[in-house]
Amino acid sequence: MRKTSMSDHATTAIEEVEHGTIKSFTVIWIILLIFTGIEVLLAYEQVTPVIMLVILIGLSVIKAALIIAYFMHLKFERFSLFLTLFPMLIFCILMMLVFMPDSMRSMLMRTQ
């Protein structure tokens, strides 16, 4: 009886390592809340839209990475799953950025 409960405990411990613990989830949640707080404070700083955009997107990307890695479990999945899904997504998003310099150009044209 005692032996069974010990082996059960051991299995649980291994699973906890593989899937994360309640403590680790709570820590991630607190980090996400802190980052959100920083973002709200940043909104009231007087900086140009481009710099603000870069900082806010930077913080959001870190938040997204934390959510994907821990909450969505991707850190504990096989690496092949990550390789199938994310390089393509990141590449497509970066391809959309190709249009961005054009937005600045049309603003210059408008003010002239």
Partner 1 sequence: MTPQVNVAAAESAWTGGGSPYAVNSKKFGMWLFIISDALTFSALLMAYTYLRLATPEWPKPFHFSPSIIFSSIMTFCLLSSSLTMVMAVHSMHHGNRKATVRWILATIAGGLAFVILHATEWRNLIVNEHMSPSSNEWGEPLFGATFFGITGLHMTHVIIGCIYLSIITIAVARGKFKYEDVEVAGLYWHFVDLVWMFVFPLVYLMSAKI
Distance CA 47, CA 37 (A): 18
The residue among 2 and 76 lying less far from partner 1, judged by its C-beta, is 76
Distance CA 74, CA 79 (A): 8
Question: Are the C-beta atoms of residues 59 and 38 closer than 8 Å to each other?
Answer: yes
Q: Which of 1, 6, 14, 43 binds partner 1 (CB under 8 A)?
A: 43
Q: Which of 15, 23, 51, 112 binds partner 1 (CB under 8 A)?
A: 15
Tokens encoding 34: 């802190």
Residue 38 Cα distances to 44, 47, 60, 63, 68, angstroms: 10, 15, 11, 12, 20
Q: Does 26 bind partner 1 (CB under 8 A)?
A: yes
Q: Which of 13, 19, 51, 54 binds partner 1 (CB under 8 A)?
A: 19
Residue 80 Cα distances to 77, 84, 86, angstroms: 8, 6, 10
The residues of the shown chain that bind partner 1, judged by CB under 8 A, are 12, 15, 19, 22, 25-26, 29, 32-33, 36, 39-40, 42-44, 46, 49-50, 52-53, 56-57, 59-60, 63-64, 67-68, 71-73, 77-78, 80-81, 84-86, 88-89, 92-93, 96-97, 99-100, 102-104, 106-107, 110-111
